[in-house]
Amino acid sequence: MKNNPKAKYIFISRNPKDCVVSFFHHTRGFPKHYDFEDGSFDVFFDLFCEGRVDFGFYFDMTRSWFDRRHEPNVLFLTYEYIISNKEEAIVNIAKFLSNALVKKLSKDNGDLMKRILIHSSVENMKKDPLRWCSERDAKFTPFIRKGKIGEWDELLRDEHVERLDKMTREFFDEDERKELGDKY
């Protein structure tokens, strides 16, 4: 990937187990785009592991941004960190973008922070689904689904988990996996 030193990049990685489950529901919900409305999870799982989905191979993409995480114009966060530390994550994003934003967050008794927390909540985002995507048939999972961590066991079987864990170990050493977080 080309790097424009004037640009700022925010990359948010998500545990591959939660990612594949969420992405499966996303893909099935857009039949005109993906033609996968009746596709099985096992087929999608294999496509995901082979990099034959949007954004390519999860581990290559995540690894490439993880390797750039210390560059001054790259902010690498995990979804799990954001969900578990919302206010802290918002402050870190604000610091990365502009110190002026950090000041705005605390102005007026933290009104802006409160509004960001409200508007970025899954519950609030579910209220207006057309804000996030085109209209979906009611038979599909809503575009804004759960937003939770560790819900992958709804679809993943032991062999899926073993395969993703093996791939994670191949792409990230033990210290890197710790840096990614205990939910990774």
Model pLDDT, residue 104: 93
pLDDT for 93-104, tens place per residue?
A: 999 999 899 999
Mean pLDDT across 102-116 = 92
65, part of any domain: yes
Model pLDDT, residue 156: 96
pLDDT for 128-181, tens place per residue?
A: 766 777 677 777 777 777 888 998 999 999 999 999 999 999 999 999 999 998
69, part of any domain: yes
Whole-model pTM: value is 0.89
What domain range is 125 assigned to? 9-180
1, part of any domain: no
Model pLDDT, residue 58: 97
Model pLDDT, residue 144: 73
Mean pLDDT of all residues in the chain? 91
Model pLDDT, residue 140: 73
Mean pLDDT across 28-53 = 91
Model pLDDT, residue 1: 62
* pLDDT higher at 169 or 127: 169
4, part of any domain: no
3, part of any domain: no
Model pLDDT, residue 60: 97
How many residues can be counted in the chain? 184
Mean pLDDT across 120-131 = 80
Name the percent of the chain lying above pLDDT 90: 66
80, part of any domain: yes
DSSP letters spanning 13-47:
E--HHHHHHHHHHHHHT-HHHHS-TT--HHHHHHH
Query: What is the count of structural domains for the chain?
Result: 1
Give the contacts of 76 (CB within 8 A, at least 6 positions apart).
11, 13, 65, 66, 68, 69
Q: CA separation (Å) from 128 to 28, 32, 123, 132?
A: 20, 21, 10, 8
Give the contacts of 57 (CB within 8 A, at least 6 positions apart).
50, 51
Model pLDDT, residue 130: 64
25, part of any domain: yes
15, part of any domain: yes
| CATH number for 22 | 3.40.50.300
